[in-house]
Structure 1
Amino acid sequence: MASNGKNGTNGLKPTGKTMKAQQYHASDNSMHLNEVPIPTPKPHEILVKIACASLCHSDVMLFEPNDQGLLLAEGGGGVTMGHEATGYVVEVGDGVKGLGVKDDFKAGDAVGFICPMECCFDCYPCREVHNNYCVTGKTKMQGFGLDGYFQEYAIVDARNTMVLPKAMDVHAAAPLFCAGVTSYHSIEDCKLKPGQWVAVIGCGGLGHLGIQYAKAMGLKVIALDIAPGPLAEAKNIGADHVFNSLKDTNYIADILSITSGGVDAAVNFTASKKSYDAAPAIIRPGSGILMVVGIPREPIALNALDVALGRYRVMGSNNGTCYNMRSCIEFSAEKGIVPHVEYYKLEELPEMVRLMREGKAIGGRMAVKF
C-alpha cells in the first residue's frame, strides 16, 4: 500500500469497475455485502482509496428505532455504511484547485475527511454551526443519505479533506475524523482552565479520546462507565478517578467530595438517557457545563427550572466541519494522541456491529483495515 506517494500510485488505482461494499438496506433493516460500481469524482471531489474505516455508534443507530433525525438514502436500494475514515488520493477533480482549499492534493497523499456533502460550505450555518443546517437544505451525510466508506473506494468533497501530518499513521487516524473531532471540541469548547475538573461519561470510542485530550489540556479527569473494560482503559490513559456508575452506589457523593462541589464540566459521550438524567447531580452549581455529545434513541429531558436559574449551562459538540477539523488533527499529532483501534476485515463488519450493539467493545474503536 502506498503512503504519501512514497511507493508510487499504481497500486492505488482500481483494476476493475466494481468493488465490495457493506450496505444498509432499510427495506429489511439489515446489512448486505454488495458488489457496487466504483464512483467517479465530480470537479469538486476526490476519489480516495480507503485505508481504514472505523465504526461509530451513529452507524449502529441505522438499525435501531430513533427519532433523532437520521436521514437515509431515498429509494429501495442500499447505502454504503460508514462516515469515519482515512485513505489515499487516487484522482483529483479538475475543479478542486479553484475551491481555495489549503492543501495541494496529489495522487498518493494520505488524507482524512468528514462526511457532509451537497451543501454550500459558505453560509453562516456551514461556517459557524454545522453543514447539516445549510441554507440550501440539500445537505446529505455519507454513510446515511449517500454512500459512505465501508467500501474500497469513495468520493469525498475536497473542502472536507486534508492531508495527514507526516508522522500520523493513516490507519490509526481514521477515528479522528468523527470521534476525534467531536471529542476534541467537546473538551476544548468548555474553555476550562488547567487544573479544573471534567467528567467523561462513557469511556468507549469517543470517551477514550476525550480523556486523552482533557489530560493534554491540563485538566483533571473523572471517568464514568458501566463496564469494567472501558474503565480499566480510562485509568490506563490517565483518568484521575474512575467510577462504575451502575455498581458504585456512592459515586455522586464521592465525586462531589473529590471536586469540592462538582465537576466544572460533564461531557456525556453515551447514548444513555439515564446517564443524561443523572449528570446534573455531579456538576458544580452556577458555573458547570453539561456537554451533550451522545445521542440516545429518545430525546433527553432537562429540568427547565435548573436551566432558567443557571444551575448549569447546556452545550453541544458534533462530528465537526471542515472549518474546525484541522485544529483537532494538528493537536492530536502534536500531543501524540492516538486512537486505540482493533482491526477487522470488511466481511466482519456485521460482527463489529453486533459487538457494539451488545456493549462488548472493550474501548477505543473497531475498524475495517483495507
Structure 2
Amino acid sequence: MTEVKAYAATSAASGLTPSTIERREPGAHDVEIAIEFCGLCHSDVHAIRSEWGPAKYPLVPGHEIVGTVSRIGGSVEGFTVGQRVGVGCMVDSCRECDSCLEGFEQYCEAGNIGTYGVVDRRNGGGITQGGYSQGIVVDENYVLTIPEGMDPAAAAPLLCAGVTTFSPLSYLDVQEGDKVGVVGLGGLGHMAVKIAKALGATVTVFTTSPGKESAAKALGADAVVVSSDAAQMDAVKGTLNAILDTVAAVHNINDYLRTLDRDGALIQLGLPSAAMPPVEPGLLIRKRLAYGGSLIGGIAETQEMLDFCAEHGIASDIEMVAAPDLDQAYDRMVAGDVKYRFVLDASTI
C-alpha cells in the first residue's frame, strides 16, 4: 500500500480537512495516477454532508480527476508513464451484465463502483476514495485519455458535467437545426449550451435570473427565457425539440414540457433532494412527449465526449481552488457563486 495526502470529511458537519489515505499497489491491469487537478461537483457537497443518505466516513470526494500516469501494471495496454489521463465518476462495474457489455457501465445492474464512497467489490471490499488527493490507482478499463492540447484543469469537469450533458444529447440524436432548451446555467447548464451549439443546435436557456442573459449568450445561447415571466414562457410554447433540465432544486417540470413541440423530449439531469410536483400526463399524451432521465455516461462515451470537445475547442469555464479553501468553495457552490466550475489544484494538498 502507498500513503497519499488528501482532504477528507469525517462527519456530515466536519467540512474537509487534511488527511492521509492508502492506495493499493498497482496490479497487473492497474494504472497509478499522480493527480494534478480535480473538479468540484455539487454531488460532492451532497455526499460529504450526507444529503443523499448516510455517507461512509472518512470520505475523500472528487470524481473529475486529471493527472499523469506514474506507474502501470505489467499487463496494461494503451497507457504509458507520463501520459495525461482522466478518471470520471466510476472506477469499476460488474463487466458482465447487459449494460456493461453494451458500454453503459453507468447503468451496471450490480451497481457501478463509484470513484468515492462505495464498496470496492473487486479490490478488497474497502471504501473507494476520490480525487481530492495526491494520487489514485484505477483499473485501465476505467481510465480515459486526455487529448493532446486540452487544458488539463479545464478538462477535469468534462469527466462529469461534460459527459452528463453530452450523453443525452447523443441519445436524442441532436443534430444541426434542432432546437434545444437548457434549464439552468450552472456547471451542467453551461456545458449543455456549449455542446448543443457544437452539434449545430439552436439553444434556448431558461433561467430564473434575468441578469444571466448576457452570460448565457456569451456561452453561445441563441435565446434566453426568464422562466418566471409568464409572457416569455408563453412565447416559446411548442417550439423546442429537446430540453436538458440541469436544475437540482425543486421546480415544476410541466412549465417546460409546454415548450416542447410534438415528439419532443425533456431529460432530467439535476437531482433534487425533495419531491418534485407531479408531471401532468395530459401534456405528454397530447404531443407524444417523453420525460426521462440520464446518468453520466459509459467509458467509451466519455472518451467520445473528450475527443469531441477537443475537436471543437470546448472546455469548462473554471475557477481554481487551493485545498485549504475547499469548504469556502462548497459554500459558494451552494449559493450559486461560481462561473461555472471550481477545480482543485492538487499541488496545494
Query: Given the alignment, which residue of 82, 93, 113 partners 1:140?
Result: 113
- Structure 2: gaps spanning 5 or more residues: 119-127
Distance of aligned partners of 1:275 and 1:202 in 2 relative to their CA distance in 1, 3 Å threshold:
farther
Structure 1 residue 278: Cα displacement = 2.7
Structure 1 residue 335: Cα displacement = 0.8
Contact 1:66 1:298 in 2 (8 A): no
User: Quick one: which amino acid aligns to residue 139 of structure 1?
Assistant: N
1:221 aligns to 2:189 (yes or no): no
Alignment correspondent of 2:37: 52
1:296 aligns to 2:296 (yes or no): no
CA distance in 1, matches of 2:335, 2:5: 26
User: Quick one: which amino acid aligns to residue 302 of structure 1?
Assistant: V
Map 1:22-37; keep pairs closer than 5 Å. 22-26=7-11, 28=13, 30-37=15-22
1:266 aligns to 2:243 (yes or no): yes
Residues 49-98 of structure 1: CA distance to partner in whole angstroms, max 9, x if unpaired?
1111011121121255656xx6844xxx412111112110011122334x
For residue 343 of structure 1, give the secondary structure of its aligned residue in structure 2.
strand
Count the aligned residue pairs: 336
Distance of aligned partners of 1:214 and 1:61 in 2 relative to their CA distance in 1, 3 Å threshold:
same
Map 1:1-370; keep pairs closer than 5 Å. 18-26=3-11, 28=13, 30-63=15-48, 66=51, 72-73=55-56, 77-97=57-77, 104-128=78-102, 130-135=104-109, 137=110, 139-145=112-118, 146-227=128-209, 230-246=212-228, 248-256=229-237, 261-284=238-261, 286-300=262-276, 301-308=278-285, 311-361=288-338, 363-370=339-346
User: Quick one: which amino acid aligns to residue 162 of structure 1?
Assistant: L
Contact 1:113 1:161 in 2 (8 A): yes
TM-score by length of 1: 0.83
Contact 1:208 1:233 in 2 (8 A): no
- Structure 1: gaps spanning 5 or more residues: 1-15, 98-103
CA distance in 2, matches of 1:254, 1:64: 41
Contact 2:184 2:247 in 1 (8 A): yes
User: Quick one: which amino acid aligns to residue 149 of structure 1?
Assistant: G
* Stretch moving more, 85-94 or 224-233: 224-233
For residue 79 of structure 1, give the secondary structure of its aligned residue in structure 2.
coil
CA distance in 2, matches of 1:328, 1:280: 27
TM-score by length of 2: 0.87
Structure 1 residue 309: Cα displacement = 5.3
Contact 1:224 1:231 in 2 (8 A): no
Distance of aligned partners of 1:281 and 1:81 in 2 relative to their CA distance in 1, 3 Å threshold:
same
For residue 240 of structure 2, give the secondary structure of its aligned residue in structure 1.
coil
Contact 1:116 1:141 in 2 (8 A): yes
CA distance in 1, matches of 2:33, 2:210: 38
CA distance in 1, matches of 2:258, 2:112: 37
Distance of aligned partners of 1:292 and 1:269 in 2 relative to their CA distance in 1, 3 Å threshold:
same
Distance of aligned partners of 1:230 and 1:25 in 2 relative to their CA distance in 1, 3 Å threshold:
farther
Distance of aligned partners of 1:228 and 1:29 in 2 relative to their CA distance in 1, 3 Å threshold:
farther
Contact 1:113 1:162 in 2 (8 A): yes
CA distance in 1, matches of 2:240, 2:64: 31
CA distance in 2, matches of 1:267, 1:122: 31
CA distance in 1, matches of 2:164, 2:199: 16
Alignment correspondent of 1:7: none
Distance of aligned partners of 1:229 and 1:126 in 2 relative to their CA distance in 1, 3 Å threshold:
farther
Contact 2:13 2:49 in 1 (8 A): no
For residue 273 of structure 1, give the secondary structure of its aligned residue in structure 2.
coil
CA distance in 1, matches of 2:97, 2:300: 12
Structure 1 residue 143: Cα displacement = 2.5
